[in-house]
Amino acid sequence: SYRPISLLSSISKLFEKVILNRMMAHINENSIFANEQFGFRHGHSTTHQLLRVTNLIRSNKSEGYSTGLALLDIEKAFDSVWHEGLIVKLKNFNFPTYIVRIIQSYLSNRTLQVNHQNFRSERLPVRAGVPQGS
């Protein structure tokens, strides 16, 4: 399975980091993530989540309750992000307009091109997914 890798300049990487920090501040200040969400949160690892779930199961078992667990793993989630839907979500969560516009600009008019040895494909539009590899 191959996926495009986005190559960014150092200044673009720095800019990306600044925007991420501002987005995370907005998320934390507005409690957008549920307490149970451990992905994409500083200081919350999969190990912490496994311990939390294990403790819940043990607690329920000691009280005579059964515990059901449903897990969802979305294959290639970052490759299939719907751009327009993401922008709608950002607006619904009241992200500052300048951040929404930056993300919208970042995702619009993207193309990919395959280069392999002496072969170079034509540029193709990217209509879904978020850039990875920077």
* Residues 100-123: b if buried by 16+ CB within 10 A, e if exposed: bebbeebbeebeeeeeeeeeeeee
Tabulate helix, strand, coil % of the chain (nearest 5): 45, 5, 45
Note the pLDDT tens digit of each residue in 33-55.
988 888 778 888 888 889 999 99
The set of long-range contacts for 120-123, using a CB threshold of 8 Å and a minimum separation of 24, is none
* Separation CA 29–CA 32 (nearest Å): 8
Per-residue CA distances from 112 to 3, 5, 16, 96, 101 (Å): 10, 9, 20, 29, 22
| pLDDT beneath 70, residues of the chain | 1-4, 133-134
pLDDT of the residue at 71: 84
Q: Are 3 and 130 in contact (CB under 8 A)?
A: no
Note the pLDDT tens digit of each residue in 52-70.
999 999 999 999 999 999 8
Residue 102: half-sphere exposure toward Cβ, Cα within 13 Å: 14
Write out the two tokens for 23.
């987005």
